[in-house]
Amino acid sequence: MKRLGRILDTFVIVLLILLFGLLILAAVYSVKGEVFPILVVKSGSMEPVLYRGDVIIIERVSPEEIRADPVNGDVIVFYKPGTSILIVHRAIREVDAGFITKGDANTGSDYFSPVPPEYIVGRWTGVKIPYWTGLGYLSLFLRGEIYPPYGRIVLVILIIVNVFLIVKDVFSRVKKSGRREKTVES
């Protein structure tokens, strides 16, 4: 049973290190003013290819590399013109002013098309972590994008509980080291 506990502890530590690394990487991208290449799909407009809550990986591309086609066009990530909102839709046609885009589940092209090339952030690589793993939904929940304000409340509670546990652990270690010193002196 102790071995299983150690394996679980190791797994949690590795997971926390990976999450911390991703947070640092995300901060670096943010400071540089760039979009982090791992995104969560926020709507069902790309179903059945991408579902709300899917975590996707994108790559940078030049506009010349984007294939525009109603069926097999690239799924691109871009800023909705005039906003800071990221959209994940298919490039269905290229025009002089940019790309006409459309969500696969939508009946018509996006009303804000064409998307100028400078608004394009990247292209979906085809790699995704499915929504049913819960990772994307957890991210949307904690950012308050689904079930607001509960996600932020849960996040604050988790932070408070973690701070409490860390402080408790520190006091416990200080107490133990104090006992050891008294034992050594005796």
Query: What is the residue extent of each domain of the chain?
Result: 1-34, 35-133, 149-186
Classify 28 as helix, strand or coil: helix
User: Is residue 4 over pLDDT 70?
Assistant: yes
35-133 homologous superfamily: Umud Fragment, subunit A (2.10.109.10)
Distance, CA of 157 to CA of 151 (rounded, Å): 10
Question: pLDDT at position 80, please?
Answer: 94
Question: pLDDT at position 186, please?
Answer: 56
Phi and psi at residue 102, to the nearest 5°: -160, 140
| Helical pair 135-142 and 150-185, crossing angle rounded to 10 deg | 100
Q: Grade residue 1 by pLDDT with cuts at 50, 70 and 90.
A: low
Classify 10 as helix, strand or coil: helix
User: Is residue 183 over pLDDT 70?
Assistant: no
pTM, two decimal places: 0.72
Active centre residues (catalytic): 45, 89, 110
Specify the residue for token string 């009946």: 107
Average pLDDT over residues 82-93: 95
Q: Grade residue 78 by pLDDT with cuts at 50, 70 and 90.
A: very high
Question: pLDDT at position 179, please?
Answer: 66
